[in-house]
Structure formats: structure tokens, C-alpha cells
Amino acid sequence: MYDEAWVMARDAAEVMQQVTGNSLCMDVVAFLVRPSQTKGFSPHRDRQPEDWVPKGAAPETCSTFKKDGMAKYVTLWAALTDATPDNSCLHFVPKSIDPGYSAGDPEEGDPLLRIFQDKAAYQKIRSVPVAAGGCTFHTHRTIHWGSAGRSSAAVPPRVALSFGFSTQDFEPPYFSPKALPFPDVKLRAALASAQVINYSTLAVGDQEGWTALAGAMANCGASQLRLLHRVFQSQVKRFHPTYRKEIATKFVSVCLNLSSLSGDVPNEDLEETEKTLPKKQGKRKKKQLARLQANEAASDEDDDALLTMLETEAATGEVLFHDDFDLLNADAEVKAPKKVRRKKRSRA
């Protein structure tokens, strides 16, 4: 929200343009790690095929690199305080021992198990302490994480910002670069709200890392997520279609999988949503809406989940979710994200 972050983004963009040829894609994330309470993200890759294929990129991992070998997505991670092993600095797995870096990871199995098959491999891990004002760079395929830190009141917190830089064909900028270097307040609020939703799927498999990103929002429920989504929707037409879809999908996924949802969905909200449905979806969704309104025994979980589906499909103008409302009553087990995956989309 503050100008200082956008000044850093502007300065970083100048460096990254020269070094990588990539441009700021607006994937900006802030982290506050208090070692006695939280930690950096667990081992992960910033992007996997499930992240770039929906944006129109080819599924092959090798296609996510340019002809000169430069990655089409690179992260600049900037330390605002000293980042040390005690308060969670970054750790990296070198490309030289990572078979999945360029070739891609198998559908089954943990990529880390492929790397660390002997003791010698562990000695290749690189710990990268950074003084305040310094930064690191890594590509979308570099496995990295933040150390757990030392749980002591004497250890200061670690604060950092990360900025994603990509090519247009790999990950288009979330909103028009014409809004830079200082987006207006409404656009900043919309991006900040969307980014919380974007990374909220991490709450399932990496709660401490998620808390370092979300802060007080880490334990938010459906009503808070709906508020964030409405802030985003207030400016939704200013965002790229691929980002709209991503936020919509993440929003519904998280709402469906929240362990506890509270509060009834007001009928006026349902009626207002009905008015916004695109014609091509109206018949199908209005039938589901009528079913929801007629079913007094419907749970709060069903109410919120269906309403979010209606709103997000109305926002994108596309059918993004399963046609059958009965999926909400299925006992679908919430799967934790792969240890090595995307970000939102994740950051360390």
C-alpha cells in the first residue's frame, strides 16, 4: 500500500530488465517472520505447470526458459531487515543437483526425494544470509525455503519483500504497467486483497509460512475472504483476465475448504448476485440459486460456497466450476499442496 514498496519495485524493475529482460508482473508479496511464532515458506518452486498452463504457456518445463537459458520468471527477494539463519534466511537447492529443474517433476512422488538420495546432496544446500538492503535472485524452478529460525525472544523478526518478473507470454502483468510507478490507492488495495486470496491455499499445508505472509489475516474466515474479494472486484476490470480467473478459482477453493464458516448469507446478497450473472450461465446458476434459497436446512458452508461460485463466475463471465451443486456435499478430502509447487504461487 505504501509508496516505498513501489519505489523499490521501480528500481528493481530497471535492474531486472537489464539482467533478465523480464518485466514486473505485479506479483508482490511482503513477509514478516517472527521465529518464535512463524517461519519462512517450506521447500517449493515458485511455478509449476498448473500455474503457467492456464495462462496459455506450453506445459513443457523447458519452454519456460528463453533460448539463451534465462528463465521467463525470476524473483527478486529483498531483505528489509537482516536475514540470518537465526531469523529465517533463504536456502536454495542448486540446479546442478536438481533433476526436475529443467526437465520438470514427475506427477507422483516428492521432488526432494529425487534430489536427496545420499548424504552428499545435503551438503550442496546453500544458505544465503542477507544484510538489510540486500537481495537475492532465483528463478521459478529453483527449490527454496526459509529456515525455521531460532525460537528466542532475543532474535529479531525478519521482514522482506519479493517481486516477480516475467515475460508477457509466460505470466502477463496483473494490471497495466501504465499504472506504474505509483498505482492509485484503489488499485493497490485491490491487488493487496487479491494477493491474500492468491496465496491463501498455502494455509492447508504450510500454516506457519502462510502466517508470515498473511499476518492477522491468517485465520480469517469466509466473511473476511468475501470482503477481500469484493475489494478486488471493485477494480476487477483493471486486471488481466488470467489473473481474474486465478483469483476466482483460489477464492472458491479456499471457501469450500475452510474448516469452519460462520454467518448466514443474506437473501439480498443472493438476489444481487443473480442480477449479475452472464446470460450464458444464468439458467444453470439461477436454478442452483433457487435451490439454495428454497432449502432452509442448507448449511452455512453450502450457502457461502455456492454464493462465491456465483459471484466469481459472474466476475469472469465464464463457467469455471463443476455444474453439479451436489459437489458441495461430497466428502472431498482437502489435499495439502505439494511440498514443491507453485505462490501465489509461493514465496519464501
**Residue from 294, 262, 39, 246 nearest 146 by CA:** 39
Task: Tell me if residue 92 falls in helix, strand or coil.
Answer: strand
Per-residue model confidence (pLDDT) at position 223: 79
Place of cell 452472464: 278
Please answer whether residues 145 and 205 qualify as being in contact, where contact means their C-beta atoms are separated by less than 8 angstroms. Answer: no
| Strand stretches in 119-274, DSSP E | 126-128, 135-139, 144-146, 158-166
Per-residue model confidence (pLDDT) at position 302: 54
Per-residue cell: 106: 514427475
Long-range contacts of residues 234-241, Cβ cutoff 8 Å, at least 24 apart: 234/186, 234/190, 235/186, 235/187, 235/189, 235/190, 236/190, 236/315, 238/175, 238/176, 238/179, 238/187, 238/190, 239/174, 239/175, 239/190, 239/194, 240/172, 240/173, 240/174, 240/175, 241/316
Going residue by residue through the chain (348 aa), what tens digit of pLDDT does each one get? 899 999 999 999 999 999 999 999 999 999 999 988 888 889 999 999 999 998 889 999 999 999 999 999 999 999 999 999 999 999 999 999 999 999 999 988 899 999 999 999 999 999 999 999 999 999 999 999 998 888 877 889 999 999 999 999 999 999 999 999 999 999 999 999 999 999 888 777 777 777 888 787 777 777 788 899 999 999 999 999 999 989 988 888 887 776 444 444 444 444 444 444 445 455 555 555 555 555 544 455 456 556 666 766 666 666 666 554 444 444 444 444 444 544 444 444
Per-residue cell: 331: 466428502
Task: Identify the CATH class of 3-183.
Answer: mainly beta
Hey, how many other C-beta atoms are within 10 angstroms of the C-beta on 192?
A: 15
**Residue from 74, 69, 91 nearest 17 by CA:** 74
Measure the CA–CA gap between 248 and 251, rounded to whole angstroms.
Answer: 5
Torsion of CA 265, 268, 269, 275, to 10 degrees: 140
Residue type, 334: V
pLDDT tens digits along 290-323 = 555 555 444 554 565 566 667 666 666 666 665 5
Measure the CA–CA gap between 313 and 130, rounded to whole angstroms.
Answer: 43
Burial class (CB in 10 A: 0-12, 13-18, 19+), 242: middle
DSSP state of 108: S
Domain boundaries, the chain: 3-183
H/E element holding 305? Answer: helix 300-316
